Amino acid sequence: MAGRAMLTSALRRSPSCSLLLRASAPARSINSKSGVVHRAAPAPTATPSLQSANAPPPAPLQGQGKSTLQHIHHERSGISVFVHPTTISLASPQHGIHEPVHFDHVWLRDACIEPNSVQPDTKQKLFHTSDIAIPDSRGLLAGPDAVRLLEEGDEELPRLQLSFAPAHAVTNAFSAAFSSVPPSSDKPHISHLPLALLLEHAQPALYASSHGDIGGAARSWAAKDLSPAFARSPSPPRAQDVVPGERMDVEAATSRPARLTWASLLSAKDSGGDAKAEATAARFALVNSLMRDGIAFVTSLPTDTTGNEVDASSPTSPSLARLAEMLGEIRHTFYGPLWDVRSLGSTSRNIAYTNLDLGLHMDLLYFQNPPRFQFLHMLRNEVRGGESIFVDSFAVAQKMWDDHRDQFRVLAETPVGFHYQNDNRHYRYTHPTFELATSSSGHAGPSSAATTMPRLCAVNYSPPFQSPLPPPTADRERFYEALKTFADLTLSDEFRYERTLSPGECVIFDNRRVLHARRGFEWDETENKQGGQIKRWLKGCYVDGDAIWSTYRTLLAKAQPKGKLGL
């Protein structure tokens, strides 16, 4: 399978695979012969209520009026545009929009992408929403004929041309405050808005897809949903011996959890388009698994560079740094950009550096914004025991929602403190166990696990760093019971995924979703004293969610055919 086709195929397996991409070409005016009919018609009076919690932010509906000044129908796409005194509405049963969705004039002017509204090089707006005049009953457009459709090359959808009246010219208030000559214009402002832009803000599924809805990509899992333990990885090559461009194993890359080799993620500097597409497909499979399952594995990652230098161009920089920076910027914490997990015995300042059992937990919950993704690269594993355990807390939450709903709500409402007070540092922050997405969190929407369970944006559980609870409340006993139910479920075989990491394997997981743990381990003390060699050694780092989410959206967009409406 060619790399581009492979990536597209992988994208179609993703829950968020439809994007509206726009090509640019010289515009031409449309008439009835090219599939657009202009006519006056009564406007549908019903204003839709987007019931889905995953709907786009609503466009203001002020003064939408009842009369219709113009009706434009695009026959090829089945989209009707209605022009009202203070709004433009859009309807298209073909795209699931059976009732008109209104866009007021302020919203439309604010969405303008012309060079005098959005700086072409930086892609940043040149005015503020508050600079736009609040319209009266006549609106902001320059008359009843101020709306047209323009064909844009071979795009599936045309662009909407809007002419805004000179009396409502938009001036940057900050710039005007420092200008000796107030700007003025006697010409209408012309905006060309892709009809696809309006469509994706009118249809919830398209809005979620085009904006790379992260919260909607998650698919919770129990142990039975993941592939049985895969074979022990062969010894990794030295960093200098890695040959980029290895063909991706599609079956392994699309399994749950995804498994990809380090060489398949790399492309040689002088490689052709197909080879680069192969590497791009492999990278998408990796981040797609992180969005969907919250966990993925990279194998055959060299272990011969063990320093903590982050410079990817340096020959001494560890391979882990190159992998992490391929997906996003490494987050620096008080542990450093990279850190090592080795048994240090009585000198350890963290139980992870002992050989004791390390129970299920999440890292750095005493931060206001704990790191989202964690990378753990096994450099050496010559011990008995030490198996890694992973549990999808979203699946446990779903179980509680189904069987213990009142306790679910208690864990979503009760604040729990976490702290780190050691080594001349004192961190502290409070989170609920179940952190629900809200309309202001950026990830609001229905749960991916069930239509009734509220969407989770994170779970917070880290017993080693849990601080004493706040002063007594009447609900404390209910919290104890709910937390015990959650803890007992996390220990159930139903949810436990266990694997012994081989040298060269790197596990990447969502630290705000997937609980991780380690069984205790032991080794021959005499051999260790004689050789002085570290027997179990992992190198780790963190990458923030925003960085990897950006990579996911970018790779998702690259594979979508241009000029097509992905529904």
| pLDDT confidence of residue 28 | 39
- Do 19 and 71 form a contact (C-beta atoms < 8 A)? no
In a shared domain, residues 153 and 243: no
For the segment 495-516, the average pLDDT, to the nearest whole number, is 97
Residue 83: how many other CB atoms lie within 10 Å? 23
- How many whole angstroms separate alpha carbon 413 and alpha carbon 242? 50
Domain-embedded: residue 127:
yes
| pLDDT confidence of residue 353 | 62
- Do 465 and 366 form a contact (C-beta atoms < 8 A)? yes
In a shared domain, residues 273 and 180: no
Give the mean pLDDT of the chain: 83
Looking up tokens 């599936």 gives: 156
In a shared domain, residues 292 and 398: yes
- How many whole angstroms separate alpha carbon 474 and alpha carbon 432? 17
In a shared domain, residues 138 and 113: yes
Where does residue 279 fall: left (phi above 0), alpha (psi -120 to 50 degrees), or beta otherwise? alpha
Q: Which of 183, 211, 239 represents a domain boundary (last residue)?
A: 211
Domain-embedded: residue 8:
no
- How many whole angstroms separate alpha carbon 104 and alpha carbon 164? 13
Closest to 82 (Cα-Cα) out of 132, 37, 133, 32:
37
For the segment 191-213, the average pLDDT, to the nearest whole number, is 86
Q: Which of 211, 237, 270 represents a domain boundary (last residue)?
A: 211
pLDDT digits (tens, 9 = 90+) for 154-175: 677 889 999 999 999 999 999 9
* Per-residue tokens: 494: 């139903």
Q: Which of 146-150, 401-405, 432-436, 448-452 has the lowest mean pLDDT?
A: 448-452
CA atoms within 13 A on the CB side of 242: 26
* Per-residue tokens: 347: 């000198």
In a shared domain, residues 115 and 256: no
Relative to beta strand 425-432, strand 415-422 is antiparallel
- How many whole angstroms separate alpha carbon 540 and alpha carbon 296? 15
Domain-embedded: residue 216:
no
Helix (H, G, I), strand (E, B) or coil at 342: strand
- Asked whether the predicted pLDDT for residue 137 surpasses 60, the reply is yes
- How many whole angstroms separate alpha carbon 169 and alpha carbon 332? 46
Q: Which of 162, 181, 211 represents a domain boundary (last residue)?
A: 211
Domain-embedded: residue 198:
yes
How many folded domains does the chain comprise? 2
pLDDT digits (tens, 9 = 90+) for 211-221: 778 888 899 99
Domain-embedded: residue 11:
no
- How many whole angstroms separate alpha carbon 281 and alpha carbon 294? 18
For the segment 184-202, the average pLDDT, to the nearest whole number, is 91
Q: Which of 257-261, 313-317, 330-334, 476-480 has the lowest mean pLDDT?
A: 313-317
In a shared domain, residues 313 and 437: yes
Under DSSP, the state recorded for 130 is G
In a shared domain, residues 266 and 121: no
- How many whole angstroms separate alpha carbon 98 and alpha carbon 460? 41
In the chain, the amino acid numbered 24 is S
| pLDDT confidence of residue 25 | 34
In a shared domain, residues 154 and 249: no
pLDDT digits (tens, 9 = 90+) for 381-410: 887 778 999 999 999 999 999 999 999 999
Cβ neighbours for 413, distance < 8 A, ≥ 6 positions apart: 432
pLDDT-based confidence at residue 251 (cuts at 50, 70, 90): very high
Q: Structural domain of residue 381, as residue ranges? A: 223-556
- Asked whether the predicted pLDDT for residue 439 surpasses 90, the reply is no
In DSSP terms, 522 is beta-bridged to 384
In a shared domain, residues 183 and 331: no
Question: How far, CA to CA in Å, does 375 sit from each of 252, 324, 474, 540, 549?
Answer: 19, 7, 41, 5, 15
- Asked whether the predicted pLDDT for residue 287 surpasses 80, the reply is yes
pLDDT-based confidence at residue 525 (cuts at 50, 70, 90): low
Domain-embedded: residue 12:
no
**Residue 115, preceding peptide bond in cis (omega within 30° of 0):** no
In a shared domain, residues 325 and 398: yes
Helix (H, G, I), strand (E, B) or coil at 266: coil
- Do 294 and 513 form a contact (C-beta atoms < 8 A)? yes
List the CATH number of the domain containing 537: 3.60.130.10
In a shared domain, residues 189 and 266: no
In a shared domain, residues 93 and 180: yes
- Do 81 and 95 form a contact (C-beta atoms < 8 A)? no
Domain-embedded: residue 562:
no
- How many whole angstroms separate alpha carbon 511 and alpha carbon 286? 16
pLDDT-based confidence at residue 317 (cuts at 50, 70, 90): confident
- How many whole angstroms separate alpha carbon 303 and alpha carbon 290? 23
Higher pLDDT pick, 124 / 7: 124
pLDDT-based confidence at residue 15 (cuts at 50, 70, 90): very low
- Asked whether the predicted pLDDT for residue 447 surpasses 50, the reply is yes
Domain-embedded: residue 565:
no
